[in-house]
Structure 1
Amino acid sequence: MTPRSLAIPKNWKTFDIPSFFSAFAYPVLGVALFVTIVLLGIFISSLTFHWWYVPLALGVIAFTVFWCNMGIGPLHRILQHRAGELAPPAQVLAMINLMIAMQGRVRDWVNYHSQHHRFADQPGDPHNPFESKRWAWVGWILFRDKNDTARPMPMWLKKHPIVVWMDRFYNELSLVIHFVIPAIIYLVVWAAGGSLVLTALLHASVIIGRAIQFHATVYGINVLGHLKTPAWADHMMALLTGGEAFHDHHHAEPVSALHRPRKGVWNRIVDYNGTVLLFLEKIGWVRNLKIAPQFA
């Protein structure tokens, strides 16, 4: 089998513009907006810019990383590997968070990830780092084979009508989340006489947080997760990915709602995607969680 990094042509016909926007253009716009607002606040005296805006913005970045993982955790562990069942409210929450995280359609995500597990680190793996680290990071996102995106929704996901419906209207709903709602917020703040400077700074922070989580996922898991890395790097990437970066454990026990042992405060911090699933199980939004024996 020809490696995917060689089999897929790199040209404008295979170039995926929405993926380029979510991976690079949107983050650049977020950073540019953040820097512009800070500089304007510093050098233009007529604009009100308080020192506490910056730590607040950093807090929003961190919270956005966490919130995006609240979509990827249920998607990866429950919808992909069927380590439990999502009740309707959890399906809606997961799908909205996935749109905030700009992860693309669930159909494509699950089909790509199924190939990854089937051909892990071998030709046929959509993002094999041993072919090319750059390809495993973003190449496979930017250049697409039409046969990959033409695959139908996996059969087991068709039992989730909410997921199927929201996936069908992914682009339209994403436009509302990323452009219409922010525009309404700006309008409301302006009409109420609030600070557009602070609003823009926090908006930029959300975009940056989303970008950090996005690249921590595709690089920290697809590349670092398949290489030998020191423990501190694993834990750092886990904090940025909700525990998904503990990838060796995941390949050993893919059908597990936890990637770290249930006991231990630090385990529940670095594997917070699993911790949230445990909480959702307690309130009835998640059912029948499956946990690997060594993590129980």
Structure 2
Amino acid sequence: MSEQRQILPRSLAIPKSFKNFDFGSLFSAFLYPALGIIGMTAAIISGLLMESVQLHWYYAPIVVGVIALTVFICNIGIGGLHRVWQHKAGELKAPAQLIVMINVLIAMQGSIKDWINYHSQHHRFADQPGDPHNPFESKRWAWVGWILFRDEKDLKRPMPLWLKNNVIIRVCDKNYNLLAAVVHFLLPAIIYGIVWMAGGDLIITLLIHASVVIGRAIQFHATVLGINVFGHFEMPKWFTYFLALLTGGEAFHDHHHDQPVSILHLPRRGFWNRIFDYNGTFFLVMEKLRLARNFTIAPQFATVKAKA
């Protein structure tokens, strides 16, 4: 009997109890996004009902722009985590590693050790028993069940050997909760304090902060719902490209499973390819800036040089 047939589906094997319930994931997936929606709603209602509060028309494009920028920033973090640190598609120098790590913190991806170990299992048992988020077992489980209920054995797995000696990853992973609290709570509090003491506009500050929180939530669920669930089913091409914009090109999931060790998910040439696969584009830029090297590109996506 094969290994996969001997494994009980994860959605059934992992107990659903408070003992193994991950409150950090609950906060990241639902409570924190709710705070962003509450903040956005409070700012808009205050502007509509209070004469002392002014809402200007240009706040709307600012909100949309901040949401889009946050989605981009979060994806750059996940792109590096996924393509480089997980699948070893290349090497990043320290400055590029710091950029990726800060963006991973903004994206609230949790422990790098656990992220990579879970994703390794996903590739090992893709869409079979043993896959941490197999949508063919349960779409709800593949969306958020697997991050809300954790198996202690999963969390006890060590840091993958190829990252064990990476100082930036090791230090940030060890202090993840502290660093995440600084990024998502202390830093915004400092900004609010500076704006208040300077007599600035707290409403636009609140709108921008809420936009960052909402943008992070959009990217988060575009990944865990859009890729983990929809990405494993037959979907219209337009929908895949729409998800690609929300995930930096990670939504080209069939290609990724065929060519996991590729820094690009679309051909290197072509303006729109570089737009829809902007995670890959970012790393090509890092390579040009000599902040990255030794990238692997799937043969069908590499630049084909004309014969002399």
Question: Residue deviations 1:210-259, cap 9 Å, x none?
Answer: 00000001111111111000000000000000000000000000000000
Q: 2:257 aligns with which of 251, 259, 269?
A: 251
Match in the other structure for 2:112: 106
For residue 161 of structure 1, report the CA deviation from its aligned partner: 1.1
- Aligned partner of 1:200 in structure 2 is 206
1:81 aligns with 2:87: yes
CA distance in 2, matches of 1:63, 1:42: 27
SS at match of 1:182: helix
Name the aligned partner's letter for residue 264 of structure 2.
Answer: L
Deviation at 1:113, TM superposition (A): 0.2
Instruction: Report the alpha carbon displacement of residue 48 of structure 1 after superposing the two structures with TM.
Output: 2.0
Does residue 1:24 correspond to 2:33, yes or no?
no
1:10 and 2:21 correspond: no
Counterpart of 1:243, as a letter, is: G
Per-residue deviation, 1:27: 0.3
SS at match of 2:173: helix
SS at match of 1:120: coil
The residue number in structure 2 matching 1:294 is: 300
Name the structure 1 match of 2:74: 68
Structure 2: gaps (5+ residues): 1-6, 303-308
* Residue in structure 2 matched with residue 237 of structure 1 by the alignment: 243
Equivalenced residues, count: 296
Aligned partner of 1:270 in structure 2 is 276
TM-score (norm 2): 0.95
CA distance in structure 2 between the partners assigned to 1:285 and 1:141 by the alignment? 33
SS at match of 1:130: coil
Match of 2:19, SS state, is coil
Aligned equivalent of 1:213: 219
Question: What is the rounded CA distance, in whole Å, between the counterparts of 2:166 and 2:284 in structure 1?
Answer: 21
Equivalent position amino acid for 1:23 in 2: A
Could you tell me which residue of structure 2 aligns to residue 188 of structure 1? 194
1:33 counterpart (21, 39, 57): 39
Match of 1:260 among 249, 263, 266: 266
1:120 matched to which residue of 2? 126
| Whole-angstrom distance in 1 between the partners of 2:290 and 2:186 | 32
- In 2, Cα distance between the equivalents of 1:54 and 1:34? 11
Secondary structure of the structure 1 residue equivalent to 2:57? coil
Write the mapping of 1:144-163 to structure 2, written as runs, cut at 5 A. Answer: 144-163=150-169
- Residue equivalent to 2:185: 179
Paired-residue identity, %: 64
Deviations 1:129-164 (A, max 9, x none): 000011001000111001111111000001311111
Structure 1 stretches of 4+ with a deviation exceeding 4 A read none
Cα drift, residue 284 of structure 1: 1.2
Q: Determine which of 40, 56, 61 is the counterpart of 1:55.
A: 61
Which amino acid is 2:291 matched to? W
Q: 1:62 & 1:200 partners in 2: Cα distance?
A: 17
- AA in 2 matched with 1:19: S
Structure 1: distance between partners of 2:47 and 2:214: 19
Gaps of 5+ in 1: none
Paired AA for residue 10 in structure 1: K
1:27 and 1:172 map into 2 onto residues whose CA distance is 20
Task: Write the deviation string for residues 246-281 of structure 1: whole angstroms up to 9, x where unpaired.
Answer: 000000000000000001111111000000000001
What are the Cα deviations for residues 74-115 of structure 1, in whole angstroms up to 9, with x where unaligned?
A: 110000000000100111111110010000111000000000
The equivalent residue for 1:45 is: 51
**1:151-191 CA distances to partner (integer Å, 9 max, x unpaired)?**
11000001311111111111100000000000000000011
- Output the amino acid matched with 2:45: L
Secondary structure in structure 2 of the residue aligned to 1:13:
helix
Query: Aligned to 2:228, which of 222, 229, 241?
Result: 222
Find the counterpart in structure 1 of residue 172 from structure 2. Answer: 166
Cα distance, 1:42 vs structure 2 = 1.3
**How far is 1:49 from its partner?**
1.7
